[in-house]
Amino acid sequence: MKKLGIIILVMTICSFATFAQKKGKTAKENYKYNIEFTIKGLSDTVIYVGHHLGEKKYVIDTVAVDANGHGVMRGNKDIHKGIYLVVMPSRNMNFFEFLMGPEGQRNFSIETDTVNFVKNMKIKGSPENVAFNNYQRHMMDLQAERYEIEKAIKNAGDDKDAKEAEYAKMRNLNERRVEYMTKVENENKGTLFGSIMRSMHEVEIPDFPRDENGIITDSTFQYKYYKKHYFDYIDFEEEGLVRTPIYEPKLNYFFEKMVVPSPDSMIVDAHRVIKMTYDEGMMKGDTLIYQYTLSHLLNYFEESKIMGYDAVFVAIAEDWYLSGKAPWADTAFMSKLKERVEKITPTRLGSVAYNLTRMQCVDDRYYNLHDVKSDYTVLIFWEPSCGHCKKEVPKLIKEYRDTLKDLGVKVFAIYTQYDKEEWVKFIDEKEIKETGWINVWDGPYPHSRFRDYYDIYSTPVIYVLDKNKKIVGKRLNVENIKDLIMFEKRKEEHEKNTH
């Protein structure tokens, strides 16, 4: 029995009266969908009907259930294909699943009970849901069999022969599971259920290539093969996959585990995956799965905490949204996206940091960022009234005195507000003074637009620049600065030795 942890209500839940037949509508066929539920064990209550969307679940309707556990969901609004859920708030949010197939196949009934939703389910009018329920039942049987084998392995203790016998049963069980899933996939080709089954198909990876002596000639072959064929079993023309718990985790796993964790690699593979959904079947972006993939990856990289991944966000925004390939995006969204891209673009890793000029020091002398001569420059934006800054700035000057100064680092510390007395007081109290540490501000007459050029919307923010003032690190914690600089030094030394 499945239990739903959290239901996200994103659409207006319809009143019970909504499900009464509309005036003039008497036949079930007059509705785009007409699904009858009879759930023995429920009485005079409500059920929620929702769907998966990636790893989340969304409620779309509320259905009144009478004294006999009977309720009807019907209507003429557009709903999409996918794996849907019937959730019982009166039963501690337990739920069961069914398939919403294409239009014309949405007039059916489901009867079950609260003792065992899946085992006791009877479906009329939807062969696809019958197949789905049969699959669920069979997999429950296999899972029960697996549990017994695992229990026997545990009970075998040190008896190697007994354990091996159980392991043999487990291997046989896995073979039967794969054979059964392949059989179900073949029997349901051309349907949403068939595409769901196909999406769970594992890529078969060939052995490593070897020379005439049996020595492996390419140790990365299997990784490259698996990465290349990772999406082979995803039907990008089946929009119903978006409303399942399958596609989004598969997408996330690819970028979390399969792609080299560098912005350049992520950009290449993000474009490759998006293009699969855009070009497949020559739909040219007119599919839900394309819209979902594009918006999901845009958000995925915008929200990422990994340094440099904002460059992937910018690349997706520029090449797919701002180029006109997202016609569903409204003007307000596009305006905000364009503004966000313009903010991030100057701060991408590898870009030359904008030269902040005539930044005034405590003693009223002026400094230009690009005039600071050092192997590395730590650029920090901060303010004394910021609680986090009160911890990080003293921590940074200690790290500077202890290690960074000896690594050829200088600090360009920018006070982001305009109360000079507050600024000077904090510097004096915390002794934020050291040779090679330059305290500056944009006052008393603001002119530098540092917030625009360095995307400063909160503090503290730390950048690391190399001797050419290229950005090599951004939005770092104090603890990460030394490691980054040591990495950059090793990389520089390696490049010298290899040229």
Position 497 pLDDT exceeds 70: yes
Q: What is the pLDDT of residues 458-474, one digit of tens each?
A: 999 999 999 999 999 99
Q: What is the pLDDT of residues 388-421, one digit of tens each?
A: 999 999 999 999 999 999 999 999 999 999 999 9
496 band by pLDDT with thresholds 50, 70 and 90: confident
CATH of 2-125, one of 2.60.40.1120, 3.90.380.10, 3.40.1280.10, 1.10.1040.10: 2.60.40.1120
pLDDT value at residue 46:
97
Q: What is the pLDDT of residues 327-339, one digit of tens each?
A: 999 999 999 999 9
pLDDT value at residue 22:
42
Q: What is the pLDDT of residues 261-271, one digit of tens each?
A: 999 999 999 99
283 band by pLDDT with thresholds 50, 70 and 90: low
Q: What is the pLDDT of residues 417-438, one digit of tens each?
A: 999 999 999 999 999 999 999 9
Q: Which amino acid is at 41?
A: G
Q: What is the pLDDT of residues 439-461, one digit of tens each?
A: 999 988 899 999 999 999 999 99
From start to end of 406-494, where are the E strands?
A: 409-415, 437-441, 461-465, 471-474
User: Where do we find the tokens 């539920």?
Assistant: 37
User: Where do we find the tokens 């690349």?
Assistant: 315
Q: What is the pLDDT of residues 52-74, one digit of tens each?
A: 998 889 999 999 999 999 999 99
Cα separations (Å) of 107 from 98, 313, 330?
Answer: 13, 42, 35
Residues 6 or more apart whose Cβ sits within 8 Å of residue 317: 298, 337, 340, 341
58 closest CA partner among 8, 2, 6: 8
- The DSSP bridge pattern shows strands 56-65 and 8-9 to be parallel
Q: Which amino acid is at 373?
A: K
* Domain boundaries, given as residue ranges, for the chain: 2-125, 133-199, 221-347, 359-497
| β-strand partners of 414 | 381, 440
Query: Rounded to the nearest 5°, which phi and psi values hold at 123?
Result: -125, 135
Dist CA 272 CA 229 (whole Å): 12
Q: What's the rounded mean pLDDT across residues 107-131?
A: 96
2's tokens: 């499945």
499 band by pLDDT with thresholds 50, 70 and 90: low
Residues 163/164/167/171 CA torsion (nearest 10 deg) = -170
The predicted model scores a pTM of 0.84
Residue count of the chain: 499
Q: What's the rounded mean pLDDT across residues 172-199?
A: 95
pLDDT value at residue 17:
33
pLDDT value at residue 495:
82
pLDDT value at residue 322:
96
Q: What is the pLDDT of residues 338-397, one digit of tens each?
A: 999 999 999 999 999 999 999 999 888 999 999 999 999 999 999 999 999 999 999 999
Dist CA 74 CA 348 (whole Å): 51
pLDDT value at residue 67:
96
40's tokens: 């023995």
Q: What's the rounded mean pLDDT across residues 224-231?
A: 96
pLDDT value at residue 285:
60
**Average pLDDT score, the chain:** 91
Position 47 pLDDT exceeds 70: yes
pLDDT value at residue 28:
58
Percent of the chain whose pLDDT exceeds 70: 93
Dist CA 125 CA 106 (whole Å): 8
Residues 145/150/154/160 CA torsion (nearest 10 deg) = 90
Nearest-Å Rg of the Cα atoms of the chain is 30
Architecture of domain 359-497: 3-Layer(aba) Sandwich (3.40)
> 3-class DSSP state for residue 398?
helix
